[in-house]
A and B are shown apart, each in its own frame.
Chain A
């Protein structure tokens, strides 16, 4: 946000030299925009194009056209239940991450010096450790005797726990950044004015931490909705999430238009949610 202020200090030089310089400056971003255009934007457009085509049942080839057949297929009960489960599991896990992550981030933000550094590193190390290994680690945990020797595996609970466990650091880091920025004087003056612990939290700290809360919830909630790895390992193919249904269409069923329609629906739904959340939080900030 504030970082943009630094950027505008360019010294203007005269004539062709300036134009050449500007051209050279512009070419710096070409690799980024080029790669994004070819390997990200075009594929997404292609997904949209495929999603309106359909598959010829006899020749099993993709027919182009403008049919919404694949989209109406999305609303069949089999797929709807996987979609509903994805939304429930990811929003539940996001809420759990927020509830567990907030106190941790708050505690770290109150520390100073070496102690704070050690705690931060303790959050960064799991974030840095293999996502796949951490998911697998949950199977080791759920196989323990005191957790029912694997009875909890292949259940929605196991999948939700897996999301909570693997995404938790992604919640703590932005929360910490937001909480760290709060001026301690604000906390103290709230206390001096007679606000108790709870009301200080509710009326001062949480509102000021809102950007971090929004960021953490997006970073956890949005990618986890399309999760594929966690339900495959912890759900044992019995608890399907959105990612599994999409992957199935491309990897075994071969119905690309339907797979594309599923992917486009997910993308559209998540985009609407993210824009709505960001707009709401921007308005809050403007009012504050």
Chain B
């Protein structure tokens, strides 16, 4: 069996390619050479410079608020819809799956441009509320796919047993269904929070004068590679890794990974 070893080498190279650039960004955030041409020693200066910038701090705060609300709304939309899908007619289910799939696959710029026109048309001021409206369009789709994949693996007999024992639907949901869904809800919530914190396209179209962190960094990145930008980028990377580690810590790496891998948008509409 010679083949697997060639495959292993290739896989290793691809993983190196995936990780090395991110590691370089993080290292360059500590590089005291401000032109980043070479490594001139270690400094924390860029971090203190970047995070003492009030524009960065206020943009971060906007992003956190947007992401928290978007996450909550996404779960409120996704959990009941996933439960509904089990008993829905074939047609109704296809409608849910098809629109969910479209919200993920359609280039974001198309949906964002349409929403921009809608808010313009009804004279609704652009700001945090409109950014959230735009984010939830796609974050709720991701949440639905993740939670629905989990729901599909559960048997409804437990809930029926709860109902037969006299539990009202809400109680059956809270005591039986929700605990079974907990892992998927945690993964969906953390992933969707991360995606919202990272979004540029919808935020840029729908923000008006409000600036989210990604829109701010995007503006900086278009023009320069500077150590300050690297410091902010490193900060964002750490933040996303925190949400990932949190899901791993709460659920174990194996369950968390299997939920991400098990959510398959490509099967949603078949």
Interface residues in chain A, defined as those with a beta carbon under 8 Å from any beta carbon in chain B: 1, 3-4, 6-11, 21, 24-26, 28-29, 31-33, 35-36, 39-44, 46-47, 50, 100-101, 103-104, 106-108, 110, 117, 119-141, 143-145, 165, 168-169, 173-174, 176-177, 197, 211-212, 214-216, 218-219, 222-223, 225-229, 232-233, 236-237, 242-243, 246-247, 250-251, 256, 259-260, 263, 266-267, 270, 274, 278, 282
Looking at chain A's contact residues, the main secondary structure is helix
Count of chain B residues with a beta carbon within 8 Å of a chain A beta carbon: 100
Given A31-B80, A129-B22, A223-B107, the answer on whether A140 and B117 have CB atoms closer than 8 Å is no
Given A121-B253, A125-B241, A174-B264, the answer on whether A32 and B21 have CB atoms closer than 8 Å is no
| Complex Cα–Cα for A58 and B198 (A) | 40
| Complex Cα–Cα for A228 and B99 (A) | 23
Query: Can you list 29 pairs linking A and B with CB atoms under 8 Å apart?
Result: A8-B87, A11-B160, A26-B84, A29-B96, A35-B73, A40-B99, A103-B10, A107-B10, A117-B253, A117-B257, A124-B260, A126-B22, A128-B194, A128-B241, A129-B241, A132-B198, A133-B240, A143-B36, A144-B24, A145-B37, A174-B264, A176-B261, A215-B265, A223-B107, A228-B109, A229-B201, A246-B113, A247-B109, A260-B113
Q: Which of A10, A47, A139 contacts B87 (CB 8 A)?
A: A10
B114 pairs with A124, CB closer than 8 A: no
A47 pairs with B236, CB closer than 8 A: no
Given A36-B99, A129-B240, the answer on whether A226 and B80 have CB atoms closer than 8 Å is no
CB distance from A272 to the nearest CB of B (A): 13
Q: Which of B105, B218, B254 contacts A232 (CB 8 A)?
A: B218
B110 pairs with A39, CB closer than 8 A: no
In the complex, which residues of chain B have a beta carbon less than 8 angstroms from the beta carbon of A133?
22, 25, 233, 236-237, 240
B136 pairs with A120, CB closer than 8 A: no
B11 within 8 A of A: yes
In the complex, which residues of chain A have a beta carbon less than 8 angstroms from the beta carbon of B102?
40
B59 within 8 A of A: no
Closest residue of chain B to A149 (Cβ to Cβ) is: B37
In the complex, which residues of chain B have a beta carbon less than 8 angstroms from the beta carbon of A222?
105-107
B32 within 8 A of A: no
Closest residue of chain A to B106 (Cβ to Cβ) is: A267
B80 pairs with A128, CB closer than 8 A: no
In the complex, which residues of chain B have a beta carbon less than 8 angstroms from the beta carbon of A41?
99
B240 pairs with A107, CB closer than 8 A: no
Given A43-B114, A250-B113, A250-B205, the answer on whether A165 and B221 have CB atoms closer than 8 Å is no
Q: Which of A8, A119, A242 contacts B11 (CB 8 A)?
A: A119
Closest residue of chain A to B76 (Cβ to Cβ) is: A31
In the complex, which residues of chain B have a beta carbon less than 8 angstroms from the beta carbon of A39?
115, 118, 133-134, 136-137
A29 pairs with B84, CB closer than 8 A: yes
B19, B106, B108, B134, most chain A CB atoms within 10 A: B106
| Complex Cα–Cα for A267 and B110 (A) | 7
A47 pairs with B114, CB closer than 8 A: yes
Q: Which of A4, A26, A177, A246 contacts B90 (CB 8 A)?
A: A4
Given A36-B99, A129-B241, the answer on whether A107 and B7 have CB atoms closer than 8 Å is yes
A259 pairs with B113, CB closer than 8 A: yes
CB distance from A143 to the nearest CB of B (A): 6
Across chains A and B, the number of contacting residue pairs, with CB separation under 8 Å, is: 290
| Complex Cα–Cα for A130 and B169 (A) | 39
A35 pairs with B137, CB closer than 8 A: yes
Q: Could you say which of B47-55, B178-186, B222-230 contacts chain A?
A: B222-230
In the complex, which residues of chain A have a beta carbon less than 8 angstroms from the beta carbon of B4?
107, 110
In the complex, which residues of chain A have a beta carbon less than 8 angstroms from the beta carbon of B103?
36, 40
In the complex, which residues of chain B have a beta carbon less than 8 angstroms from the beta carbon of A29?
80-81, 84-85, 88, 92, 96
Q: Which of B77, B108, B254 contacts A32 (CB 8 A)?
A: B77
A40 pairs with B236, CB closer than 8 A: no
Closest residue of chain B to A27 (Cβ to Cβ) is: B80
CB distance from B195 to the nearest CB of A (A): 8
CB distance from B231 to the nearest CB of A (A): 12
A260 pairs with B117, CB closer than 8 A: yes
Given A32-B96, A124-B260, A247-B109, the answer on whether A6 and B88 have CB atoms closer than 8 Å is no
In the complex, which residues of chain A have a beta carbon less than 8 angstroms from the beta carbon of B110?
44, 47, 226, 246, 263, 266-267
Q: Which of B25, B95, B96 contacts A137 (CB 8 A)?
A: B25
B21 pairs with A141, CB closer than 8 A: yes
Contact bitstring B158-173, A, C-beta under 8 A = 1, else 0: 0010000000010000
